[in-house]
């Protein structure tokens, strides 16, 4: 049985999840959240009757800190960490990953993300596309799904999918929006990944940000449409070389108006911003257009 665990990121519910899968051989975990929410993860596991030491395997969708920042702590507790080959090196030697985030978040690093330590190589499994793992009667299939990140994997269990960020961000009854942080945003790859998901015969998506989606086809159509609209909105500003400091508030205003038009207000706006800061999509989409046209 699959259980979403709400990690209460920055004190807000329905922002970042991990997913606990119970099997006949014991529990495994998908996603870890950031290290800053590790105490809440431990608490959420305890509510289901488990300790970190009970987890044999942890499956990561990708190595961004909101999805994988606590992986090292679970490795210390004994878990084997499964990750895309392009992300593995950064879990063993996280210096570049951490420094890259530090350039973006500065003094907020500890509050947002906690800490990050090295995971021993022998506890890291590099996962190939379409790799399958049989655990306690469950079959877990890995799908390489680039677009949001080159090191992204979506994990299928039966007709359900732990989607990470490839299926976007959707809080409550709000719209699905594409998280587009630098440096890896690639629209064509993302569209191919969405098409892959369409063809898996899925009944449910599980979103790290946040929760379960039943109408998979409509969700993916909406995501692809908004991804294209976001990129098209940025493009003329890229061509006109609008300074990013001037462009960012314009994009934030557009994104917030879009959320409000779909009934998102108050707490919902905070949840969306914590899960998917609009300002990061400006940098990511500008970088996409620069790489595409140069």
**What pLDDT digit, counting tens, does each position of 207-254 carry?**
999 999 999 999 999 999 999 999 999 999 999 999 999 999 999 999
| 67 plus 199 within the same structural domain | yes
Contact 11, 28 (CB under 8 A): no
| 65 plus 102 within the same structural domain | yes
Query: Between vectors from CA 7 to CA 256 and to CA 268, what angle results, nearest 5°?
Result: 20
| 268 plus 136 within the same structural domain | no
| 200 plus 168 within the same structural domain | yes
Using one digit for the tens of pLDDT, what is the confidence trace for 94-132? 998 898 888 888 888 988 999 999 999 999 999 999 999
- Its pTM stands at 0.96
β-strands 124-126, 132-135: how paired?
A: unpaired
In angstroms, rounded to a whole number, what is the distance separating the alpha carbons of residues 268 and 137?
38
> What pLDDT, on the 0 to 100 scale, is given for residue 102?
87
SS3 content of the chain, % helix, strand, coil (to 5): 45, 20, 35
| 270 plus 198 within the same structural domain | no
Using one digit for the tens of pLDDT, what is the confidence trace for 131-171? 999 999 899 999 999 999 999 999 999 999 999 999 999 99
The answer for residues whose C-beta is within 8 angstroms of residue 70's C-beta and 6 or more apart is: 32, 33, 34, 35, 37, 38, 41, 114
**Number of structural domains in the chain:** 2
Mean pLDDT of all residues in 83-92: 97
Choosing from 218, 240, 259, the residue where a domain stops is: 218
> What pLDDT, on the 0 to 100 scale, is given for residue 76?
97
| 95 plus 164 within the same structural domain | yes
Tokens of 153: 């994997």
Query: Between vectors from CA 213 to CA 210 and to CA 219, what angle results, nearest 5°?
Result: 105
In angstroms, rounded to a whole number, what is the distance separating the alpha carbons of residues 178 and 278?
10
Tokens of 192: 């191919």
Provide the residue range defining the domain that includes 274.
Answer: 225-293
| 54 plus 198 within the same structural domain | yes
| 201 plus 116 within the same structural domain | yes
> What pLDDT, on the 0 to 100 scale, is given for residue 197?
98
| 145 plus 229 within the same structural domain | no
CA 134 to chain centre: 24
């Amino acid at each position: 049985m699959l259980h979403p665990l709400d990690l209460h990121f920055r004190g807000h519910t329905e922002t970042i999840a991990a997913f606990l899968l119970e099997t006949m051989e014991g529990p495994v975990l998908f996603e870890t959240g950031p290290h800053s929410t590790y105490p809440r993860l431990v608490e959420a596991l305890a509510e289901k009757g488990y300790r970190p030491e009970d987890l044999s395997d942890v499956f990561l969708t990708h190595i961004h800190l909101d999805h994988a920042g606590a992986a090292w702590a679970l490795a210390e507790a004994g878990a084997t960490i499964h990750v895309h080959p392009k992300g593995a090196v950064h879990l063993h030697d996280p210096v570049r990953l951490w420094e890259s985030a530090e350039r973006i978040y500065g003094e907020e690093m500890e509050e947002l993300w906690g800490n990050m330590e090295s995971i021993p190589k022998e506890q890291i499994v590099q996962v190939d596309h379409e790799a399958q793992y049989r655990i306690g009667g469950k079959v877990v299939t890995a799908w390489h799904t680039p677009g949001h990140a080159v090191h992204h994997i979506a994990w299928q269990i039966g007709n359900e999918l732990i989607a990470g960020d490839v299926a976007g961000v959707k809080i409550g009854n709000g719209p699905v929006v594409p998280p587009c942080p630098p440096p890896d945003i690639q629209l064509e790859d993302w569209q191919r990944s969405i098409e892959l998901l369409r063809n898996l015969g899925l009944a449910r998506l599980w979103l790290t940000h946040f929760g379960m989606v039943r109408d998979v086809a409509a969700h993916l159509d909406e995501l692809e449409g908004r991804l294209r609209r976001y990129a098209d909105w940025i493009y003329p500003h890229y061509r006109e070389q609008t300074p990013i400091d001037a462009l960012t508030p314009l994009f934030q205003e557009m994104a917030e108006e879009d959320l409000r038009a779909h009934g998102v207000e108050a707490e919902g706006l905070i949840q969306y911003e914590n899960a998917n800061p609009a300002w990061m999509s400006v940098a990511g989409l500008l970088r996409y257009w620069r790489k595409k046209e140069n």
